[in-house]
A and B are shown apart, each in its own frame.
Chain A
Amino acid sequence: MDLRFGDSKPTDEERAAVDALLGPPASAWEGADDRTDTDLRWARGGREARERRDLLLPGLHALNDRVGWISEGGLAYLCRRLTVPPAEGYGVATFYAMFAVKPRPATVVHVCTDLACAARGSARVCTKIERDLGPAGSAGSGAVWQPSPCLGLCERAPAALVIRAGEAPRTAVVAPATAEAVADAATAPHEAAAEPQAAAAAPQARTPAAQPAQAGTSAALPAPTPAPRPSRASGQASGQASGQASGQASGQTANAVARTGSSAPGSALAAPEAGRDGLVLLRRVGVVDPGSLDDYRAHGGYAALRRAFALGPAGVIREVTEAGLVGRGGAAFPTGRKWAATAQQPDHPHYLVCNADESEPGTFKDRVLMEGDPYALVEAMTIAGYATGAHRGYLYLRGEYPRALRRLRTAIDRARARGLLGEDVMGQGFAFDIEIRRGAGAYICGEETAIFNSIEGRRGEPRSKPPFPVEKGLFGKPTAVNNVETLVNVLPILIEGAQGYARTGTSASTGTKLFCVSGTVARPGVYELPFGATLRELLELAGPPKTLRAVLLGGAAGAFVRPDELDVPLTFEGTRAAGATLGSGVVLVLDDSVELPRVLLRIAEFFRDESCGQCVPCRVGTVRQEEALHRIKDLTGDAAAGDIALLREVGRAMRDASICGLGQTAWNAVESAIDRLGAFK
C-alpha cells in the first residue's frame, strides 16, 4: 500500500485533537513535523498503524468535537496517523450525520422532527427556530440548526440537542423544547447548565407524577448554576468532565425519596413509575445514585456477578437459556443460544458487543437504563463476557446520548478502580474490560453487523449473513451482540434463578419488558410490565388520549394497531398473532388530531435518510416509497389507488430482496396503516 495524503495540513487545533487521542506521532512517516535521520532510513508505523484502524471513528469524533467539522487537512492528518487511505476516511466521515466535511459554526442544534416530537409540536418549534437562526443548514449567528431523526428523548418531546465544539465540547438537551430555550442554549450553551442533574432535579420531582407536563417542564429548565468547567477535555470527550455531573447526584436524597415511598426522583422522570414495588429492570432507576458504586452495591449490585462466578460460564449460559431470555432489540433471538454458540467457537479471541445504538424512532428505554443505573450494564456485560469467553466488551453508544456517555464512563472507571473490571475481576482470575465507542448519527449502525463495521472504522454498512456474528463478528472473530435491555435482564436471572425469573410473563415470553410510551398520553415515559399485560393496561398507566386514533407498536419498522385492538397481549407471540411486533418496545400513541399521511411520510423520510445505500431495493425503494406517499398525501380512494399498488409492489421487493432489516421492514408501518387503519381510503 502506497498511500497518498495530499498537501493539506492540519491546523494546530486539529493536530492537538488527534494527538490527544493517538499520542504524538512517532516519526515523520506518521506526520511529525521534523524529519529525523532515522526516519530517512527506516519507515515505521505501517502495520501497527493499520491495526489501529478502529480508532478512525474516535479520531473523526475528536476532530468534529474540537472544531465542529472535519477539514481536508484534519482528515489527511488522521488518515496518515492510522494509515487509512484518505478516500476511505472521507467515505467513513460522510457516512455519519453528526459529522460535516464542509465548514460550519461550532454550535450545531439538532431539532428532533421525528414521530413523537412531531406529535407534540416540533413543527411549530422549527418554524420559530427558522426565524431566529435562519433556514436549516445555514450558518447564522455562530450556530447552525438541522432537523434530526429521533433523539431518544421522546418522553420530553419536542426535543433538541445542542452541541458546541471546542477544547471542552459542551452539550445541552432542551426538552421540551421551545424556540426561545433552543436559541438561548445555542447562543450560550456554556451558560445553560447542560442537563438537569439528578441532584438538582430530585426535590422538584416530588411533584406528583400525575402532573407529568409540569414535571417535564421543570426538568427541562436547567438549574441556573453553570456546570463545572472541566480542567481539560479527556480524550475525545464530549460533554463536561466525566463523572462530575453524575458524581454530584445526591444518593441520599434519592434514597430518602425512595424510602418515604413518595414518587420518582429527578433522574427518573423518564420512568414515571420509578420507585414502585415490583419493578425488576427499573428497580434501581431513580432510586440509586447513578454515580456511586457503593450505592449500587447497597442496592444489590454485583450479587449477580458473584453468582456467575459460582456457576461457571456453562452454568450461566444454562440459567439464561432455561430462563427463556430472548433478545429485546427486536429480533427476539434466544440469548442463551447465542451465548452458547459464541462460547464454543474454537477461534479466539471472542468479543462481546453491547448494542446501545438505540435509534429506532420512539425508543429511549436503553437511555433511561444507562443514565439511571449504569453499573447494572457494566455488571451485565461482565457476566456476558465471562459466559461467552470474551475478555473485551465494546459498548457502542449512540452519539446523541451525552449524559449516558458521561455516566457510563464514570461507572466503568470506578468499577475498574475497584477491581470489578480489569485483569482480575473480583479476584477470580477473569480478565475483562469495556471500551465505549460513540456512534455518530447513523440508525443503521444498530444493525448487528453494521455495528462491527462501524467499530472497525469502516462505513457502517451491514454485512451479508452467513457468516453469522457468532462465527465471524467483530474483527472477524466470534462475537456475541446483545442490546442493553437484554443484557440487563441477566442480572435478575442470576439472582432469582432461571425458574424464579421465568415465573413472570408467559411461557413463550418470560420476564418483564420495557415499553417506551410517547405521543399524546398524559404520562409519557418508560414503563416496565410483565409480559402478558395488554396494550390497554399499558395505556391506562400512561393516560391515553380521549380520542385514540392509533398506536404505532414497535417503531418505524413496526405496525399500527387500531383502538379496537387494545386487548392484544404485549408478548412476542401475542403481537405476532395480531400481525404486529413488539420491536424495540415503542408504543407511540396518536390521537385523532394527527394527520396520518404526514406520519407515514415522516416514516418514509426516515428510512430514505437512514438507508446505508448499499443495496438497490432499499437505496432506491425508500426514495420511491417517499415519493409515492408524497403524491398521495392529500388524496384518497381511487385517486390514491394507483400509487398504493405501486407502494405494495416496491414494498414487497424491499421486504424480500434487501440485505438487512432496515430495507426489509421499511414498508411495514406504511402497509399496516393502509391495511389496518384504512389510510387513504
Chain B
Amino acid sequence: MTAIPLRPPRRLVDLTLDGEPVRAPEGSTLLDACRAAGKDVPTLCQGDTLTPKNACRVCVVEVEGSRTLAPACSRRVEPGMEVRTDTERARHSRKVVLELLASSTDLSTTPGAAEWIEEYGAEPDRFGAEAARVAEEPKVDNDLYVRDYSKCVLCYKCVDACGEQWQNTFAIAVAGRGFDARISTEHDAPLTDSACVYCGNCVEVCPTGALSFKTEFDMRAAGTWDESAQTETTTVCAYCGVGCNLTLHVQDNEIVKVTSPHDNPVTHGNLCIKGRFGYQHVQNHAQNQD
C-alpha cells in the first residue's frame, strides 16, 4: 500500500498573478502558482523530483519592486506579491536565453525547445556562423548510456540526481568555469573508471537528451528511433522486493528504454542498474538464441 504522508494543512498566501488575485499554499513556488492558474511558463532546469538550481533562467517573471527578474521555479510566494508572467521584459529575457542556448548547444532532442523558440520569436542564428558552440564528441565509454555534452545546457540535474539529492554516488560534478564548464568525472576519466554505478538516474532527469540510453543513441544514429511508434507500459520490477515501478518503452516489440514514474512514492523516478538496464532477459526470444 502506498503511504500518503499527512502534512499539516498549509496556510494560503494571497498574491496577484498578471493582475488576477490567486491563493497559493505557503512555501510553494511562483511556478506552482502559475501552473495552478493554468499559465504556461517554460522551464528547463526545473525538474519535478529535484530542487531546481534556477540556472537556465527561461522561467523568469517580473516581481513588482524587484530590481531584476525572478526565477519562477525557485522564488517562493509571499503575501501581497504582484507577479507578471508575460510582460515584454520577461518575454525579452526568455527569448534571449533561448537564443543563447540554441546558438551554443544542440537542442534538437530537447522537448519543448522548438516550440518555445517559435513562440518567443527567438533567432539563434543571428549571432553568426562563428558563434562559439559547446563542441563535444559524444562520450560512448560503456554499453549502457551515452553522454553527449554538446546537448548539455548545464542544468545541474544529473549532478544533483547522482549526488546528494538522490543517488549519493557523486560520480559526476561540474568542472571548469564559465563557458568551459562541463559535467565531468574526476580528471574527465571514462565512466568505467569513475564511481558510477549505472543507476541511470541522471539519464532519467536529463531534460535535453544529452544523456541517453545506448539503445536510443544507436537507434537515433541509425535513423530508426521513432517515438510515435513506441508504447509505454508501467509494471513492477521483477528483481527484488522493493517494488519499483518500471515504465517500459517498447518499439517493434523490443524494449528500447526504461524509465520510472516520477510521482511513484517508492522510486520518485529512480531505479538501480538492474531495473534500469537489466531488461534483456525479457526479450530473450527464441530467435535470438542459437
Is B one of A's binding partners?
Answer: yes
Q: Spell out A's residues near B (CB within 8 Å).
A: 1-4, 6, 72, 75-76, 85-91, 94-95, 101, 442, 459, 464, 466, 608-617, 619-624, 627, 631, 646, 649-650, 652-653, 655-659, 664
Chain A positions within 8 Å of B194 at CB level: 4, 87
Residue pairs across A and B with Cβ atoms less than 8 A apart, 9 shown, are A86-B195, A87-B185, A90-B187, A91-B173, A91-B184, A608-B178, A617-B97, A620-B104, A620-B179
Partner of A657, one of B69, B126, B171: B69
Which B-chain residue is minimally distant from A7 (CB atoms)? B193
Q: B96 to chain A: which residues have CB within 8 Å?
A: 617, 621, 649-650, 652-653, 657
Asked whether B220 is an interface residue with its Cβ less than 8 Å from the other chain, the reply is no
Question: Does residue B89 face the partner (Cβ distance < 8 Å to A)?
Answer: yes
Range of interface residues on B (Cβ < 8 Å)? 35 or more
> A434 → chain B, closest Cβ, in Å?
29
State whether B184 touches A620 (Cβ < 8 A): no
B279 interface residue (CB < 8 Å to A): no
CB contacts under 8 Å to A, within B122-149, are 126-128, 130-132
Option from A72, A615, A659 in Cβ contact (under 8 Å) with B187: A72
The verdict on B74 contacting chain A, using a C-beta distance below 8 Å, is yes
Residues in chain B near residue A76, CB distance under 8 A: 186
A657 to B96, CA, bound (A): 10
Q: Give the CA-CA distance A659 to B69 in the complex, in Å.
A: 9
Q: How far is the CA of A612 from the CA of B163 in the complex (A)?
A: 20
Q: Whole-angstrom distance between the alpha carbons of A611 and B68 in the complex?
A: 18
Q: Which of A442, A617, A655 has the most CB of B within 10 A?
A: A617
User: Of B57, B74, B89, B178, which is within 8 A of A609 by CB?
Assistant: B178
If the complex has contacts A87-B186, A657-B93, are A621 and B100 also in contact, measured as CB distance less than 8 A?
yes
Question: Contacts A6-B186, A87-B186, A90-B173; is A617 near B178 (CB within 8 Å)?
Answer: no
- The smallest beta-carbon distance between A605 and chain B, in angstroms, is 11
Within 8 Å by CB of B175, from A90, A608, A655, lies A90
Complex CA distance for A73 and B178, rounded to whole angstroms: 26
Query: For B71, what are the chain A residues with a Cβ–Cβ distance below 8 Å?
Result: 464
Cβ of B118 within 8 Å of any chain A Cβ, yes or no, is no
Answer yes or no: B180 CB below 8 A from chain A CBs.
yes
The reply on B116 being an interface residue by CB < 8 A is: no
CA distance A617 to B174 in the complex (A): 18
B55: which A residues are within 8 A, CB to CB? 614-616, 659
Contact B97 A616 (CB under 8 A): yes
B107 at the binding interface (Cβ < 8 Å): no
Inter-chain contact A627/B186, CB cutoff 8 Å: no
User: Is residue B181 contacting chain A, with contact meaning CB distance below 8 A?
Assistant: yes
Known pairs A1-B168, A624-B103; list 16 more (Cβ under 8 Å): A87-B171, A91-B174, A95-B176, A464-B71, A612-B178, A612-B181, A613-B174, A615-B57, A616-B58, A617-B100, A620-B103, A620-B104, A623-B104, A627-B127, A656-B93, A658-B57
The answer to whether A659 and B104 touch (CB under 8 A), given A87-B194, A464-B74, is no
A residues within 8 A CB of B74?
464
Given the complex of chains A and B, what is the CA–CA distance between A459 and B53 in angstroms? 14
B89 touches A616 (CB 8 A): no
Asked if A657 meets B60 with Cβ closer than 8 Å, knowing A615-B55, A620-B104, the reply is: yes
Contact check, B195 vs A4: say whether CB atoms are below 8 A apart: yes
Please state if A3 and B170 are interface contacts (CB–CB under 8 Å). yes
For B68, list chain A residues within 8 Å (CB): 655-658, 664
Asked if residues B69 and A646 are in contact (CB atoms below 8 Å), the reply is: no
State in angstroms the CA–CA spacing of A89 and B172 once bound together: 10
Kindly name the residue among B100, B169, B187, B194 whose own CB sees the greatest number of chain A CB atoms within 10 A: B187
C-alpha spacing A6/B186, complex, angstroms:
10
Least CB distance from B201 to A in Å reads: 15
Smallest CB–CB gap between A99 and chain B, Å? 11
Do A94 and B177 touch (CB < 8 A)? Answer: yes
Q: How far is the CB of A404 from chain B (nearest CB, A)?
A: 24
Pick the most buried of A91, A624, A646: most chain B CB atoms within 10 A of its CB.
A91
In the assembled complex, the CB of B89 is this many whole angstroms from the nearest CB of chain A, namely 6
Q: Do B92 and A653 touch across chains, with their CB atoms under 8 A apart?
A: yes
The answer, yes or no, to whether B30 is at the interface (CB within 8 Å) is no
In the complex, what residue of chain A is closest to B89 when comparing beta carbons?
A: A656
